Structure 1
């Protein structure tokens, strides 16, 4: 079982704005921020999640990994959330990497959308259930 995942970003301000907008339709928001003052260094971090539990972290202090083939998929409760994620991510400056739609080559009800974040990471929202 995975507890959390983190990626390094090249521009913290741009990335936190992107993820705030893109993940809001999925009910995911910043749960914790770690400032340079808190660590005694220069790095910044933000943990996104739900109900007080961060499970997706972005931060500075390393090499941004878009070119390294990073792919992160967030669960959506329904297809409308996938559509809203895609619209919000694109409006926040993401790049299209696969518009919302069925991906039957994965399975019959796989409905996903793919966006490249500001560093080129492949971010997805996916719903595995059939429409109601």
Structure 2
């Protein structure tokens, strides 16, 4: 569906701590990109799609890309409800704020299990799995 997305953060160290924890819980990896940014990928062998997270503004972005000018909603696919639970625990331990405890979401027909956490910049980060009980 997409190749990559990117968003700016205020504090790279806080963001890296948070997304390192999220990545570990979901079987993803973070990679250094520059002194002011990092990437979130499936693995070093599968680097697309990726999420670019940084404090700098790439030269090709226009000035409208301000930090949290409009918080984003970033949803990760989890394999199991247990992975969703691990995501939620890891994100909270890394400084995230609970924004929806793990559990069934939406109509029962969706068979969706998810959890929501606000990252250090107030972005709504979700992990969910389909086909859950």
Deviation at 1:20, TM superposition (A): 0.1
> For 1:73-88, what aligned pairs fall within 5 Å after superposition?
73-88=75-90
Residue 57 in structure 1 maps to residue 52 in structure 2? yes
Q: Is the 8 A contact 2:104 2:113 kept in 1?
A: yes
String of CA shifts for 1:64-119, please: whole Å, max 9, x gaps. Answer: 11x51310000001100000000000000000100000013384311000000000
CA distance in 1, matches of 2:12, 2:115: 24
Residue 72 in structure 1 maps to residue 64 in structure 2? no
Deviation at 1:31, TM superposition (A): 2.9
User: Where in structure 1 do 4 or more consecutive aligned residues deviate above 6 Å?
Assistant: none
TM-score, with structure 2 as normaliser: 0.84
Which residues of structure 1 form unaligned runs of 5+?
36-43
Q: Is the 8 A contact 2:9 2:121 kept in 1?
A: yes
CA distance in 1, matches of 2:16, 2:97: 16
Q: Is the 8 A contact 1:31 1:50 kept in 2?
A: no
Q: Aligned-residue CA RMSD in angstroms?
A: 1.6
Residue 5 in structure 1 maps to residue 8 in structure 2? no
- How many residues of Structure 1 are paired with residues of Structure 2 in the alignment? 122
Instruction: Single out whichever of 99-108 and 114-123 deviates more from structure 2.
Output: 99-108
Deviation at 1:129, TM superposition (A): 1.5
Q: Secondary structure at the match of 2:20?
A: helix
Q: Is the 8 A contact 2:37 2:56 kept in 1?
A: no
Q: Which residue of the partner structure matches residue 61 of structure 2?
A: none
CA distance in 1, matches of 2:109, 2:20: 30
